Structure 1
């Protein structure tokens, strides 16, 4: 009896508290009303997701595909398997890191036969970077589906450019399945490649952070750099220029062993330039391009100078790290440095940040900082990252940043005519 009375009292108390808490307030939202207030964002559809709308392009054609592990639909179906099922797939072409992403950075990629499809795989990273006439003899359409990361010195866009040239020379149609720029499409940063500084990480006068999707890049390169191939871009649906990769609600697939996350991709367009120096860019750690340092740097001193610089959207934490991967800078040695923590993606400017970090490290290094000589180019490696020799010659930081801002603005004005998305 006592227990039943206690339950009644508790129920009445709960009703009174709930009534008091909601008195004078709006009625609770129904499920439908809540959805109207906070709509579920639509997932972006990739170019390859939209294949069925464009199957007439491939009808009766023999297809060659340039792809790697990032070439898949938004529900993880391999582009190789999709095209093999829906078109006449006769050849595969592999970029840097191999068709399955298993080859280390810079290592040659061999040719072989794909076990899954029995299709020949031709290497485009090694002695041959451009499809030959013999490779394309049985191909009518050369298609491209790989995730770019929005940085001029990432090689996938040049694999595409060489393939577009070969398509033109051999009378083939070139098809690009478009994908998001993971670092957004509204901000352009950095210097363009000047005459005499061209390489496989900078074939054309494009800024370090170009702000284009891979399909838009193809459109721009085809016209502005006079490739003039027969080009078809199969667009995405739902992508907007203001989107960073997390906004797309798409799964991220590592584009290469040292770009494990979209955050890495954002950092890379700024700290990638340390590949031209004797400073570790964090390769051989779990945070490549987000960790920067060297054995001769004082972590606290460097972090203090960088935080005092007032760079937007980023903070610097003093860290010590040891690169573990074989054959990387300072393998097995303790490095002092900083970790970049992005606090505001929209405000963050990775290229400005990376160059400022380089100048500060050089100033604090007590003469230990050095630029690397390129093994394959006539100039220092830093020059092919930055597009000219001004950084190596020690031009003032403010002067270089002003020049880079001007060239980035000019490129963005030029590139707008090739936009496929708002």
Structure 2
């Protein structure tokens, strides 16, 4: 006879199992069990990683008595006070600075907005923060670089955004324009550094100058293997700002951090990067943005799956639909066939095999790529190589010279050990 407690536990288990399988937009005919993607405890730091924002004692004096502008979004989280005591709950940096009687006068918001709810590429409008009453200036759309009048009455600018280490992730493009504007107006810039969750990966073709755009502003590979603070040092040191100006830059470094350490983001960096797996696969799957293939926008597995109506029917399918961060996703309402990568082991380089496979299997190769692909790749060569059937090993071989030069240049700006 089954006891009452066992019966209740069995029922609870079945209910949870049913709920966890309830997403009808993504379908598997032949479910597979994949190895987990959790970091081993052996690689975890003995002391907690503190971000630049957590090291308040290192930048408090730089802000005291100054009128402060801040480039920020929901990833600007503070967990420790100036005495290294953990806060009872995480604070947004803006709230934390105001709580410590510092004079924040203006917020600057990058792509996805201050609250982080806008679609990729969606126009962000100026406004006012409902919680603090502070004015919000958009740094996306037609106003990617702060204007001189928008910087009036600002004595110091703080930059605190969580990057993911990919050239086309536009927060580093916003960093460029903020550095340039501050340099031109003689305003010191403080970058509060944060770990790069893909910090040990350097891979992909180097951006060629003729493909410079907001999704690729500098001659670097797709995955650059630097924190945003290190990257700011490179922008300054290589004189990539307009007319060779240099920012009055101060980087507040992370502590207890090494580049090869696993780092799970406490807040998703943008609406379509909901977890560690999507962040790890982002650079590889984002190349699909330059094709007719969906990488899961409009599902709950963004940047963890790929597929399209033009690929052969298979055991895996999904149907994109409007959701937060994808109001009108590619192939909205259409059944897409492809692959589910949500459970595969962590990748350690830029993966081309899914892109190559999709191109080889698509129903009409002439309409597979669009004009955006070369901007994402930073070169026309990658599309030409794939179209010509060049093996992945040969494609990678063509990157070696550029990657070696970049790695040599990069060493001058590094803050952290591997």
- TM exceeds 0.5? yes
Query: Do residues 241 (structure 1) and 240 (structure 2) align?
Result: no
User: 1:349 — aligned with what?
Assistant: 348
> Where do residues 16-165 of structure 1 align in structure 2 (5 Å cutoff)?
41-74=46-79, 75-86=89-100, 87-165=102-180
User: 1:280 — aligned with what?
Assistant: 294
Aligned CA distance change for structure 1 residues 109 and 262 (closer, same or farther; 3 Å)? same
More helix by share: 1
1:107 aligns to what SS in structure 2?
coil
Query: 391, 394, 402: which is aligned to 1:407?
Result: 402
| Distance of 1:216 and 1:398 partners within structure 2 | 30
What is the CA deviation profile of residues 168-222 of structure 1, one whole-angstrom value per residue up to 9, with x for unaligned ones?
0000001100001012x22201112101100100000111111101101111111
RMSD: 2.0
Larger Rg, first or second structure (1 or 2): 1
Over 6 Å off, 4+ runs: 37-40
User: 1:376 — aligned with what?
Assistant: none
User: 1:387 — aligned with what?
Assistant: 378
Number of residue equivalences = 354
What is the CA deviation profile of residues 262-302 of structure 1, one whole-angstrom value per residue up to 9, with x for unaligned ones?
211110111100000001111111111110111132355xx
Tell me the TM-score normalised to structure 1 length: 0.80
User: 2:338 — aligned with what?
Assistant: 337
1:357 aligns to what SS in structure 2?
helix
Q: Choose between structure 1 and 2 for higher RCO, CA contacts under 8 A separated by at least 6 residues.
A: 2
> Where do residues 246-395 of structure 1 align in structure 2 (5 Å cutoff)?
246=264, 252-298=266-312, 300=314, 319-325=316-322, 326-341=327-342, 343-345=344-346, 348-351=347-350, 353=351, 355-368=352-365, 370-373=367-370, 380-393=371-384, 394-395=387-388
Aligned CA distance change for structure 1 residues 39 and 85 (closer, same or farther; 3 Å)? closer
User: Which range moves more in the overlay, 91-100 or 289-298?
Assistant: 289-298
| Distance of 1:217 and 1:299 partners within structure 2 | 43
What is the CA deviation profile of residues 80-119 of structure 1, one whole-angstrom value per residue up to 9, with x for unaligned ones?
1112233211111011111011212211111112222222
Tell me the TM-score normalised to structure 2 length: 0.80
Give the C-alpha shift of residue 327 in structure 1. Answer: 1.7
Query: Do residues 170 (structure 1) and 165 (structure 2) align?
Result: no
User: Contact 1:189–1:405 at 8 Å: present in 2 too?
Assistant: no
| Distance of 2:190 and 2:276 partners within structure 1 | 25
